[in-house]
Each structure stands twice: as structure tokens, then as C-alpha cells.
Amino acid sequence: MIRNILSLNKEISLKFVKNVSRRNVKSFSSQKLQPVKLAFTIYENYTSKAAPFVIIHGLFGSKQNWTSLCKAYSQKIEPPRKIFAVDLRNHGDSPHSENHTYAHLAEDLRLFLEDNGLEKIFLMGHSMGGRCAMLFALTYPKLLEKLIVVDISPINVSPNFSEMSKIIDVMNRTEMPKNVVLSQARSIVEQQLAEVIPDKGVRAFILTNLMATEDKSYKWRANVPTLLKAFQEVGRFDVENTAQYTGETLFIGGEKSDYLPKTDFPKILKFFPNAQLKYIEGAGHWLHAEKPNEFLKITIDFLNRPSAG
């Protein structure tokens, strides 16, 4: 059921441009980007001085997606460490912006570390958040102790990626109801989404972004116009061919998902030479929701293992 509910993310495997000219490659650390301050939830351990664990969600997700797992991590990670779940820009409670590129997302994360006095972190990202995490690792390797990438490849692109634009477009065209309770608003909006989203579970996931406004109307919590405008930009993942993150890295995928093909791993090692690859049997793209116990075991074993060097 959860695979169906969250299968929306099947279209967000983002294109990796392997061979780009130096003219088109930008040094992300030197770009004059305007970062935004990210909303977050902290699962505090007041006595811990260990590197915190920061978790970032995927497209149309939010920090709320990780609440249960964050609570589990706060109890089971050794040594105990602070857990942060963040909302990326244009999602959740974080600010909206006209810009939505991986370079901007990585700079937002850098500012988040700076604002919260975090010198070094463990970082985990799912899907689009995994792409953000990879770029952050490649750009600011000294700020990471370990990296976990959840069911996304820097190499592969989903053949269904273009379908995502249709979903964003119908969200952008949605006529929002007024003066009705949330349950009625959800029903009205769902009827409009059904034009292009036949799967009820996918519609339910999209509707988690519906929120009331002060004028008794409704709006999308995610910044749909910007995400629509930035669709092609989000579909690119450009890094220099020589870029590497040599820290310990775990790529973890769902056995039933096509987001992280085993055939990509040799190319992944060119950018993440200290990476390992694991799969959860019977899981799809949202493996952490479908198989939480298995997901926790694999990730906690990786996090708790002493860092090399």
C-alpha cells in the first residue's frame, strides 16, 4: 500500500549529465547563491557531542515523513547524537524561492550547518534529497563524517521522469475551494487531481501538501509554480568529472525499485570510491516506510560503526 501511496516519487529519478564541458560546469562553492534558512525538527540529546545526523526528504515530502524513524534513531544510535530532520526550500515549512537547483539546495544545507554551529555531520537524503546530499558531499566533503543515499542513483534517470511535469502542472492549475473544512477541500481538490493522477494513493500523498490559508481558502504547502518552472533544471545533476567524495558512503535501495540499479554501481564508485551498496528485499522506492525495521538495522549498523581513520 505504501509503495502505491508514495509511487509518485517514481518519476523523480533525476538525470545525471556525465560528460559536460568546463564551460557548462560551475564551481558550486564559488557561485553567488542566496541560501534560505531551512525549517527543521530536532530530536535532541543534550549530553551528546557526537556529530549530528541530518536527514533530508524527497520531492513533495517534508521533515514530517521521517518523524517515526527520527525517534528510533535518537534511541538507537551509538554514541547518542542529535537528529535533525529538515525541510528543503519550497517544501514543508521552509521558505519559498524562485530558485530551485541542486546548487541552491546544497548552499541552503551549508547555511543550516553554519546557523546551528554544526562542524561535521552524518547526512542522509532520500530520492531528490539524496541528490542534494550527494552534491553537498562532493562540494563540502570536510563537513561530512558519513553519507547515506537512499534509493537514488547519480547515474540513472527514470524513463517516466517526464510524466512528473503533468502532475506538477495539474497541481498548478488546481482551483482551490473556500469556506469549507479540510476534509471537504481534500475531496474537491482530489477530483481535480484525478484528471492526470489515476492512483488514489498518489493523490493522497500529494494532498498531504494541502493547507488552509488565513482567508479561509487553501493552498499547496510546496511551491508548485517554482517547481514547475524549475522542472528541467531539477532534471539535471551536473558535477565535474573529477569530483569525488572519499568518505564512507552507503547507497541503500529497494529491491523492487528501479531508482538504484546495480549496473550503476561501477560508475557510482568513480565519484564515491568508498561506497557500499545494499538492498532491502521486497521494498520499493520508499523502503524506509515500507520496511522500517530492516531500514533501521542497515542504516544504524552503518552509522554506529567507527569511522575509518
Give the tens place of pLDDT for each residue, 260-303: 999 999 999 999 999 999 999 999 888 998 899 999 999 999 99
Sign for the CA dihedral angle at 178, 180, 183, 189 comes to: negative
3-state DSSP assignment of residue 260: coil
| Amino acid making up residue 250 | L
Residue 186: its H or E element:
helix 182-193
- Which domains are seen in the chain, by residue range? 2-159+235-304 (3.40.50.1820), 163-229 (no CATH)
pTM: 0.86
Straight-line distance from the first to the last Cα atom of the chain, in angstroms, rounded to the nearest whole number: 42
Mean pLDDT of 39-60: 90
**Per-residue DSSP letters for 274-290?**
TEEEEEETT--TTHHHH
- The beta strands (E) that lie in the chain are given as 15-17, 40-43, 53-56, 83-86, 121-126, 144-150, 210-212, 218-220, 236-238, 248-254, 275-280
Cell of 181: 473544512
**What does the alpha-carbon distance between residue 254 and residue 274 come to, in Å, rounded to a whole number?**
21
- Residue 104 near residue 234, CB atoms below 8 Å: no
Q: Which residue would you say has higher pLDDT here, 49 or 242?
A: 49
Give the tens place of pLDDT for each residue, 136-186: 999 999 999 999 999 999 987 766 667 778 889 999 999 999 999 999 999
Percentage of the chain beyond pLDDT 90 is: 69
User: CA nearest 287: which of 87, 202, 278?
Assistant: 278
Cell of 160: 517516466
Least confident of 8-12, 80-84, 110-114, 120-124: 8-12
